[in-house]
Amino acid sequence: MSLIAQNIHVHLGRAHVLQGVSVVARPGQMTAIVGPNGSGKTTLMRALTGELPCQRLVTLNGHDIAAMPPEALAQRRGVLPQSAALSFPFTVTEVVRIGLEARGERADALVPAALSAVDLPGFSGRLYQELSGGEQQRVQLARVLAQVWQPVDANGPRWLMLDEPVSSLDIAHQITVMRLAAEYARRGGGVVAVMHDLNLTALYADRVILMQKGQAVAQGTPPEVLTDAILSNAYGCALRVNAVPQEGIWVLPHAAA
């Protein structure tokens, strides 16, 4: 009952974007995908969710995702993309309901619960287009959360697949979202998140996959992957773990899960 990718390759045009990447993400854990820009993080996420065809096998809870009908995939995993543009004036409630309808349910009582979970109580009647970028991102997260509300059901674990879930958020709401994802994992669901913030990754992730040039160059626990040598090599700049520079001021979250 895991998310498993075995030696997957992805070609986009002439570019060989993923080169033999193997991944195991387990329920009950948050798995963070990190790495520099252009390293293949989002491509890997799209391959793992079944949005992007790839060579070799990706299985979700023992099922080949390429063979699963879309409605079956929607029952097992909810996907938060980097961005989601809406062309029509939907209300917040209507956006969150999309997640419920994706799994064949209305269950409108989940709408206020999902909005409360992302710190948007009372926003149900607001127009989505009138919200700030950070508020829109949290509405989209509420939509995904409503889709897979129970982390485990009779068919096994469900999955949150989050591509840069905190990119537009202030630090307080970054922590809110990371705590929500960590709690989902603690309750038995699986969480896979593309992350840029290495500090939040270190605080909340159980496993880390470090991407570089289309390959997974390191996998393991945060202490195993987030080291001076590994990070400096991957990002191409000098990085120090748990060392504050002598000059300047630094603001870091002190809110572990």
- What's the pLDDT tens digit per position in 57-103? 899 999 999 999 988 999 999 999 988 778 788 999 999 998 887 76
Average pLDDT, the chain: 92
Residues in the chain: 257
Count CB neighbours of 206 within 10 A. Answer: 18
Buried b (16+ CB within 10 A) or exposed e, 105-142: eeeeebbbebbebbbbeebbeeebeebeeebbbbbbbb
Please state which CATH number belongs to domain 3-235: 3.40.50.300
State the average pLDDT over residues 38-42: 95
pLDDT at residue number 104: 67
Q: What's the predicted TM-score (pTM) here?
A: 0.93
